[in-house]
Amino acid sequence: MNVFAKFVAFDLETTGLDKEKHEIIEIGAVKFTLIEEAGVLKPKILGKFQTFVNPSSSIPEEAMKVNHITDKMVEGAPDINTCLRKFTGFCGLDSILVAHNANFDAGFLRDAYEKNPQLIPANPIIDSLKIVKTILPELPNHKLGNLATLFKKKNLISMQIAPGEMHRAVYDCEMLMEVLVATLRRRMKTSDWYVENILKILPKYGGITMSLRK
């Protein structure tokens, strides 16, 4: 029996852009697979993960303006070590991780795992930004929110777009899930999504894998 691959779309909110100086303050993830309805492949959510992370210092005002996460919201949240263990468990061993501009998110995660020694996930990671740029190079903007808005107008995705929810980890993960499937649907046939085929096919469309393990 053919089985569709599993994915984990993940997104981090941080106190800044430099992984050497800044910290993760929220981890969000959506685990999903594919289902076929009336001949169309659509994402099927298998689970959601969200946790705030208690940083070692106050959240800068510049970061709060972007992600709307305040010091009060992370007060009492678990430390990064605990959050990473929970995230690792959520991802499991058989999922492909995906992030939009994965070098940023994977870089922060890799640094966090190295500073908090524990099992580092070996799951392959793909960058949805590279995939979209490869398949839709003609678009003037490849930001996740803009892509989701455009795809919604074209009735390519089902979720409702709420600009006020953007830059919150789980919401961004749901957008990422929808955008990734809608984009790859343009090129990939049903059998390409099967577990035994997916990692062979993705590099053709910019889905070259990376890993948290160097």
Check: CB of residue 4 under 8 Å from CB of residue 195: yes
Residue 97, pLDDT above cutoff 80: yes
pLDDT at 166: 60
pLDDT at 47 > cutoff 90 = yes
Domains in the chain (CATH in brackets) are 6-205 (3.30.420.10)
Q: Where are the beta strands (DSSP E) in 140-181?
A: none
β-partners of residue 84 are none
Per-residue pLDDT, 78:
97
Q: Which SS3 state, helix, strand or coil, does residue 10 take?
A: strand
Q: In the predicted model, is pLDDT for residue 22 greater than 90?
A: yes
End-to-end CA distance of the chain: 34
Contact predicate 83/27, CB 8 Å: yes
Mean of the pLDDT values across residues 181-193? Answer: 96
- How many Cβ atoms sit within 10 Å of the Cβ of residue 92? 14
Burial tier of 25 (Cβ tally within 10 Å: 0-12, 13-18, 19+):
buried
How far apart CA 128 and CA 4 sit, in angstroms, is 18
Position 89 pLDDT exceeds 90: yes
Q: Is the pLDDT at 164 greater than 70, yes or no?
A: no
Cα four-point dihedral sign 13, 16, 18, 21: negative
